[in-house]
Structure 1
Amino acid sequence: MRTDSTLPSSAETVVVGAGAVGCSVAYHLSELGAENVVVVDKGPLPVTGGSSTHAPGIMFQTSPSQLMTKTAHYTSRLLDDAGVYDEVGGIETARSEERMDFLQRRVEHATAYGLPDPELLTPSEVTDYLPLVDEDAILGGYYSPTDGRVDGVAALQWYIGESDADFYGHTAVTDLDVTGGTVTAVETDRGRIDCERCVIATNNWGYQTGKMAGLDLPIAPVEHQYAVTEPVPELAGTDPATRVDTEAMDVPGDRSIADAMGKTPSRPVGRDQDHSLYFRTHGDALGLGSYNHETLSVDPDAMGSNTERRQASVREFTDRHWKRATHPDRDTSAKRAFEELLPVTEDLDFQTTENGIFVFTPDGMPLVGETSAVDGLWTALAIWWTHSGGYGKLLAEWMENGVPRLPSGPVPTGGIHVERFEPHAGSKPYFVDRGATQYRQVYSIVDPGWQPDDHRGLRRSPFHSHQRDLGAEFAQSGGWESPKWYDSNADLVERYADRIPDQEGWAAINRSPIEGAEHLHTRDHVSMFDMTSFASITVEGPDAADFLQRVCSNDVDVDVGRVRYSLLLNEGGNILADVTVVRLDDDEFMVTTGGGNSPGIHGSWLQSHAPDTVSVTVEEGAKSTIGLWGPKSRLLLQRVTETDVSAEGFPYFGAKRLYVGDVPAIALRVSYVGELGWELWTPTEYGARLWETLWEAGQDLDVRPMGTGALESMRLEKGYRLWGTDIDTDTDPVAAGLPFAVDTDTEFVGRDALERKREAGVDSRITPVTLDDSTDRVLAGRPVRKDGETLGYVQAGDYGYSVGESVAYTYLPVEYADAGTAVELLCEGEMYDATVRDEPLFDPGREKLLR
């Protein structure tokens, strides 16, 4: 580690930002042997003036997200071993029955993802840990014993001292040089640093830093205020020792907040999520924070020095934050809520206040990975202290070895990838508003399937007006308005009433029995499904076949008119994407992939790996697509086309250019629901006519629209994988049960690593389980157990209306993955007996697909 005053003229890697995340990335790169790593920050070291040193350092590890939980746990273990973490435990209290149910979900997620010894507490057990809490104000609590608090300044000192990287404070980045689509240098107010790679870890200033490279990164800053009280008599005698003497440091602004944050907590950190509050002890004082106020969004272009907004006056702080959230009939302010929970705070003044910044993305998850627009430019943004060690580790592994991983193994990146957002997410009004929503929801109980109200209707298929007329219940995904179900199909519920069990409670929110009716109708008749949110990628050129052979796990050098299901793998043999490859001509292919965040991630990966002789064009939205599925789909399609669509004339996994009425289309005989059917792809301008042609021709066949709810239950019955849910960068084709998508006689990215995995044998594999005596729907992220041991967790679950059983998919250790094994699933506080099954559950002989 060097902190010389002379800036180097070149480096292999430059990390911009020396806060928790930037220091973690540099440390982990050094651990992996990366050389010539330079870290720059405009502030002094280690107290740079960003969030890392003014944050209270509270670390609650439990999350509905497996990745967020695991990165938090890794961070706590790393910093605990470093001696800069206070493992005092964490307690989340409940003041309502709804919150107690929420805390039960906390226990289930913590159990599923491997956190040690989570438990629910009675009110008296809470006050045994937190005697300042009013026992009569709560119904109970959730306790995670390895939660705690990081000493931010001490942790940054440790990172800098332990890393082989060179750190330079008082160095403001003024520009990022990009030449030929590749980052080539970092310009600073002290000189230029030529580099091969650059990591943006500026967090609060992430949007501004991204603009230097021509990127619109959706990073929304939000003000957040925190107070430390004067000494509390009940805490008298508590050791207020700190690890770091800030007197010897260059501390921007008032050093009192850095001193206060360094004081050791004597009791567990706490949350009162019903009132969006959190608290901790600072020696003999209390630290109080609240989200219980209007969102104080900051224009990301106006983010100046954090010192400019630090230390809001007590009057401003109190008026803006603690007293503003008041109901017309009662005081609902943060101050009142704290006084109810912690009566000792009623007459206390604040000795220190902090006006800091958090940043949020539109979906509340971090922004991590290499950008597609600029080679060599990586991001590590929207990450808090809680997860900083874990994300620094996985990003360093990703950069050095091509495989994002933690010590426990590879991790999924679909939900955090920098390329997951659609182009509209770069609009400031959009991401600032969505960031504000994420801020408000930090402590909210967010219903399953919740949908935002703002910025809707951004992307609408040409079928939208027809869907609206049919009573579609729309949900937004990637900006697309996709129907979950249609009210016009309500009559089907009565038709199939005996096969659609009632669902109650949490699992039934934002659900409809119409979804089950649409599922069953498709199995019996014919339905139309809007696939416009799915993307097609045109790959063409004289070397197109060779290129696809190199990046696809399957043999895709097939005859013209044939379709092949394949995977894209990373260097570690794990799954980057699952795709359908269609050969349209000798030098022309169409690659299709799912909706959501798939087009941006998968399309950009193909583009970045293509040679100059191959053109890769992502055509998201350029084509409109209808899935025409069900036993009557052939009869309907044959009515509107002169092309032979018989079983002999149009076999399974075939493709043809044809006309549907007047509409030119590419027809693929594939089906994501396990029924006879086709995907019909046409240029968007023909989309409305495509819908109308099929709809009018199918009325006597009882053609119906079908939504995403039916799609999910049908694909689970059939065992079809969903990228980002069942498969991701943490899984390989063997464990995922996809050996048919791999042809090891071809040379492809990840082949050698996959062969090593096959030889070593997998530890776990995916399998369906069904509930023995219940029709309840089991939710994702809930533990799968046997004899008191947690074996895994639910990847996805739904009721299988055709098989008449509740279905869940999970990865189980191979010794438990054989059909017939008895297991238990814990969901919403109820333990369900379940049995491992062979897959697929529906139509195992594929008679329906091949008819």
Structure 2
Amino acid sequence: MAKIPSHARVVIIGGGISGCSVAYHLAELGWKDIVLLERKQLTSGTTWHAAGLVGQLRANENMTRLAKYSADLYKRLEAETGLATGLRQCGSITVALTEERHEEILRQASLARAFDVEVNELSPAEVKALYPHLAIGDVVAGVHLPGDGQADPANIALALAKGARMRGAQIIEQVKVARVTQARGRVTGVDWEMGGDQGHIAADLVVNCGGMWGRDLAAQNGVTLPLHACEHFYIVTEAIPDLTRLPVLRVPDECAYYKEDAGKILLGAFEPVAKPWGMNGIREDFCFDQLPEDFDHFAPILEKAIARMPLLADAGIHTFFNGPESFTPDDRYYLGEAPELAGYWVAAGYNSIGIVSSGGAGMALAQWMNDGAPPFDLWDVDIRRAQPFQKNRRYLKERVTETLGLLYADHFPYRQMATSRGIRRSPLHEHLKARGAVFGEVAGWERANWFANPGQRPEYQYSWKRQNWFDNSRAEHMALREGVGLLDMTSFGKIRVEGRDALGFLQNLCANQMDVEAGRIVYTQMLNPRGGIECDLTVTRFSDTAFYLVVPGATLQRDLAWLRRHVDALNVTITDVTAGEVVLPLMGPKSRDLLGLISPNDFSNDAHPFGSAREIEIGMGIARAHRVTYVGELGWELYVSSDQAAHVFETIVEAGEDVGLKLCGLHAMDSCRIEKGYRHFGHDITDEDHVLEAGLGFAVKLAKGAFIGSDAVLRKKEEGLARRMVQFRLKDPEPLLFHNEPILRDGEIVGFLSSGNYGHALGAAVGLGYVPCAAAGEPVDTMLASSYSIEIAGKLCDAEASVVPMYDPRSERIRS
């Protein structure tokens, strides 16, 4: 029996492929005193029964980078450790049975080209040539990725474990972590149990790789880790005579995937309505266990599969397998340090893509732990995106019935979750609903995305083309541009920063000048030491010692964690006040006229200039009016205490009838902001994007003195920009842009769009994206002299390019 140490630099909890990958990569970085504890045996939770598909193309560039790293790692592990990983790069084929799916896979092919993943578009006959057993009568097209493949999940995990041991890591089985201990806001170690023995390992860091056990373990320390197990089904046939090696096959329109292995076919499913499992916990002796068969649940998938691949009709079923896997509310896994507890790290919740993800995730987490910062933007999987309410088990149980099936559902733009809705609502929710609001969800918040007309069904009809709300959103967009529109942005994160040291604290964190007079609003970024953007926000100074921060709703937990990480011993109090106030942006050239009907205050430029906030009377209530805009028009954001929100809303709407007020949704706001070239955090700007290359140098004030990231800004000024954020407008008014479409400069792919939408005032789709400079500091004129096009589903569309906003480039309208 291995001796359990009394101290370690890091304790990793869980011996699946995720935990073994973290141990391997920390050891590869030269870390000592690594201890991995597994409650039963390595791979015994989920890893051992995973299908082992290795697909390189993911939803964005960095997730693809991690998947490609995994494939490369699994190739070299055998030579390093002597253990075979079973990696076979047999390629993969995805087939489309509908025109909508055809559009999706063509866009995926474009994405693959932008991310340097080899891809081939296939006709039905070419699909048949690569997969001769397939019935192709209704196949529209296919996409082939030759570098994809399959591997043996358990052997990969064991090879990673051996590689970690070879570098000095201790991996101990049959030891359960009973709890993670903590003191003064950070982890101190773990308490363990083995048989009748108990003990403690003092540790500087702990990594929760506990898979489906991870949520409940995290909850003991107040850490939010929202995941829930679902039953996952597949069958393995008897050996099929003369079955040759085949690529992995995905038929998402039938919720099915196929893998040939040793002359047998594995048929797996991601059915639309899944079966959650383990609601009341997982029994103590669970180890290499299968769940009860439910053939009725799987039968519809099998029936379609036999029609799709007739040879299955004569193949016996060798294994009917049902095992649990962890799923998360948004189908993305969790990585990073928990915001609630210093030193508590997480790598869990892999949503059935754990094999292809874990190699890269382990590498990225190890580098993050080693360097104190992620190696590149990982916001897609950052644990800080999780909302505290999402640990609720009923919420999770309902949501994961949907998220498993979404892996193979059509990935339409603007697709909204159908389950676990209505958790966080503005006090005005029912008012908006009664007026035709169609809601989307972000961070649990219900937000009006668009408003249905009388007699129009208030629901989405999804498509890759113009969806049923396109004209509604156009009308809302033009109301904001030409008249006056009202939005509800209560979902904004709102943070008070107060105390004797508040100014110095924010001066160190923010790139812009925070020492302004009370009532001034400052747009700023918080930077990391590399000059990357950690937070994008406005800061309103209330007094000498009080500031009010407004951040995107989706990033609130991240931004709170960043602030708290830097408080140290300063006299500063940080308070989340999000739920206390409703935010009503009143925007458009007639917004001043409307405010004049409902408030005695003076809204002239002299009395209330752009970038200032003050208290106003409105109706019979009191509000705080912030003259700022995210749509690029004259307007005010009205901050109203939640108890007065309904009165203020009714007052605005009633008076608005005289000036043509239109209720507007988030889709219209987004289309307006992209016309104006305003950046969107998480898409256009991330912690990987330098503030100067993002075109936000106007919000950086080096003259104020040193702040986090100021050295990186100075260096970039000296070196010259390596790339620039560019705005594009398609010359053809018909196509649509969403994000990730490849950018071509003089016929060569040089990047991809970070965001896109339709610019109704500009008359065509508009996108933002980074274009590399031909040489450091390349002049703007030279860059813009090139010809640009955007690839959309394999077709090239000519585009105009600009580094200043195409709409109101001098911002005259917002100051009018």
Q: Does 1:602 align with 2:610?
A: no
Q: Is the 1:222–1:357 Cα contact (8 Å) retained in structure 2?
A: yes
The amino acid that maps onto 2:105 is L
Shift of 1:728: 1.6
Q: Is the 1:208–1:301 Cα contact (8 Å) retained in structure 2?
A: no
**3-state SS of 2:384 partner:** coil
Q: Is the 1:825–1:832 Cα contact (8 Å) retained in structure 2?
A: yes
More divergent stretch after superposition (506-515 vs 269-278)? 506-515
The amino acid that maps onto 1:284 is G
More divergent stretch after superposition (92-101 vs 172-181)? 92-101
Structure 1 counterpart of 2:249: 270
Aligned 1:145-294 pairs, distance under 5 A: 145-163=146-164, 164=167, 165-190=169-194, 191-235=199-243, 266-292=245-271, 294=273
Structure 1 counterpart of 2:71: 76
**3-state SS of 2:813 partner:** helix
Q: Does 1:24 align with 2:32?
A: no
Instruction: Give the Cα–Cα distance (whole angstroms) in 2 for the partners of residues 660 and 270 of structure 1.
Output: 61
| Counterpart among 705, 719, 741 of residue 782 in structure 1 | 741
CA gap 1:489/1:525 in 2 versus in 1, 3 angstroms: farther
Q: Is the 1:207–1:301 Cα contact (8 Å) retained in structure 2?
A: no
RMSD of the alignment, in Å? 2.4
Instruction: Give the Cα–Cα distance (whole angstroms) in 2 for the partners of residues 291 and 480 of structure 1.
Output: 27
Q: Does 1:690 align with 2:648?
A: yes
Structure 2 counterpart of 1:303: 282
Q: Is the 1:309–1:355 Cα contact (8 Å) retained in structure 2?
A: no
Structure 2 counterpart of 1:618: 576
Q: Is the 1:507–1:779 Cα contact (8 Å) retained in structure 2?
A: no
Shift of 1:504: 11
Shift of 1:470: 2.1
The amino acid that maps onto 1:171 is V
- Scaled by the length of structure 2, the TM-score of the pair is 0.92
Q: Is the 2:272–2:404 Cα contact (8 Å) retained in structure 1?
A: no
Shift of 1:544: 0.4
Q: Is the 1:42–1:48 Cα contact (8 Å) retained in structure 2?
A: no
Structure 1 counterpart of 2:110: 108
Aligned 1:729-748 pairs, distance under 5 A: 729-745=687-703, 746-748=705-707
Q: Is the 2:233–2:298 Cα contact (8 Å) retained in structure 1?
A: no
- Scaled by the length of structure 1, the TM-score of the pair is 0.88
Structure 2 counterpart of 1:479: 444
Structure 1 counterpart of 2:429: 464
The amino acid that maps onto 1:121 is L
| Counterpart among 58, 61, 65 of residue 56 in structure 2 | 61
**3-state SS of 1:846 partner:** coil
Shift of 1:213: 1.9
| Counterpart among 402, 405, 425 of residue 440 in structure 1 | 405
**3-state SS of 1:621 partner:** helix
Shift of 1:787: 5.1
Instruction: Give the Cα–Cα distance (whole angstroms) in 2 for the partners of residues 812 and 741 of structure 1.
Output: 21
Instruction: Give the Cα–Cα distance (whole angstroms) in 2 for the partners of residues 489 and 756 of structure 1.
Output: 57
Structure 1 counterpart of 2:756: 797
Structure 2, unmatched stretches of 5+, are 79-84
**3-state SS of 2:814 partner:** helix
Deviation per residue, 1:748-797 (Å, 9 max, x gap): 22333443344343332211111123342222122122455321112222
CA gap 1:55/1:395 in 2 versus in 1, 3 angstroms: same
Deviation per residue, 1:474-530 (Å, 9 max, x gap): 222222222122235999xxxxxxxxxxx9961322533121111112222222221
Q: Is the 2:733–2:763 Cα contact (8 Å) retained in structure 1?
A: no
Q: Does 1:416 align with 2:392?
A: no
Instruction: Give the Cα–Cα distance (whole angstroms) in 1 for the partners of residues 512 and 30 of structure 2.
Output: 34
**3-state SS of 1:364 partner:** coil
Structure 1 counterpart of 2:317: 350
Instruction: Give the Cα–Cα distance (whole angstroms) in 2 for the partners of residues 92 and 118 of structure 1.
Output: 11
Q: Is the 1:127–1:133 Cα contact (8 Å) retained in structure 2?
A: yes
Instruction: Give the Cα–Cα distance (whole angstroms) in 1 for the partners of residues 369 and 424 of structure 2.
Output: 34
Instruction: Give the Cα–Cα distance (whole angstroms) in 1 for the partners of residues 720 and 284 of structure 2.
Output: 53
**3-state SS of 1:701 partner:** coil
Instruction: Give the Cα–Cα distance (whole angstroms) in 2 for the partners of residues 185 and 143 of structure 1.
Output: 47
The amino acid that maps onto 1:317 is E
CA gap 1:794/1:510 in 2 versus in 1, 3 angstroms: farther
CA gap 1:757/1:160 in 2 versus in 1, 3 angstroms: farther
Structure 1 counterpart of 2:82: none
Structure 1, unmatched stretches of 5+, are 239-265, 324-332, 492-502
Deviation per residue, 1:110-159 (Å, 9 max, x gap): 223221x2112223322333333345464432110110112223322332
Instruction: Give the Cα–Cα distance (whole angstroms) in 2 for the partners of residues 309 and 48 of structure 1.
Output: 8
State the identity %. 32
Q: Is the 1:24–1:388 Cα contact (8 Å) retained in structure 2?
A: yes
Deviation per residue, 1:256-282 (Å, 9 max, x gap): xxxxxxxxxx33222122211112222
Structure 2 counterpart of 1:242: none
CA gap 1:761/1:203 in 2 versus in 1, 3 angstroms: farther
Q: Is the 1:489–1:704 Cα contact (8 Å) retained in structure 2?
A: no
CA gap 1:792/1:629 in 2 versus in 1, 3 angstroms: same
Structure 1 counterpart of 2:534: 576
| Counterpart among 709, 718, 724 of residue 765 in structure 1 | 724
Shift of 1:647: 0.9
**3-state SS of 1:671 partner:** coil
Structure 1 counterpart of 2:657: 699
Q: Is the 1:776–1:799 Cα contact (8 Å) retained in structure 2?
A: no
Instruction: Give the Cα–Cα distance (whole angstroms) in 2 for the partners of residues 338 and 508 of structure 1.
Output: 32
**3-state SS of 1:508 partner:** coil
Structure 1 counterpart of 2:333: 366
Tell me the matched-pair count.
787
Q: Is the 2:746–2:787 Cα contact (8 Å) retained in structure 1?
A: no
More divergent stretch after superposition (55-64 vs 385-394)? 55-64
Instruction: Give the Cα–Cα distance (whole angstroms) in 2 for the partners of residues 490 and 515 of structure 1.
Output: 16
Structure 2 counterpart of 1:450: 415
CA gap 1:140/1:672 in 2 versus in 1, 3 angstroms: closer
Shift of 1:9: 0.7
CA gap 1:176/1:510 in 2 versus in 1, 3 angstroms: farther
Shift of 1:300: 4.3
Shift of 1:726: 1.1
Aligned 1:458-537 pairs, distance under 5 A: 458-487=423-452, 506-509=464-467, 511-537=469-495
Instruction: Give the Cα–Cα distance (whole angstroms) in 1 for the partners of residues 285 and 320 of structure 2.
Output: 14
Instruction: Give the Cα–Cα distance (whole angstroms) in 1 for the partners of residues 680 and 517 of structure 2.
Output: 27
Structure 2 counterpart of 1:99: 101
Instruction: Give the Cα–Cα distance (whole angstroms) in 2 for the partners of residues 712 and 777 of structure 1.
Output: 14
**3-state SS of 2:690 partner:** coil
Structure 2 counterpart of 1:247: none
Shift of 1:307: 4.8
Runs of 4+ in 1 over 4 A off after TM superposition: 305-309, 488-491
Deviation per residue, 1:563-615 (Å, 9 max, x gap): 111111233321111010111100000011122x1212212321332245110
Shift of 1:437: 0.3
Structure 1 counterpart of 2:81: none
**3-state SS of 2:807 partner:** coil
Shift of 1:685: 0.9
Q: Is the 1:177–1:186 Cα contact (8 Å) retained in structure 2?
A: yes
Structure 2 counterpart of 1:427: 392
CA gap 1:504/1:685 in 2 versus in 1, 3 angstroms: closer
CA gap 1:766/1:6 in 2 versus in 1, 3 angstroms: same
Shift of 1:209: 1.8
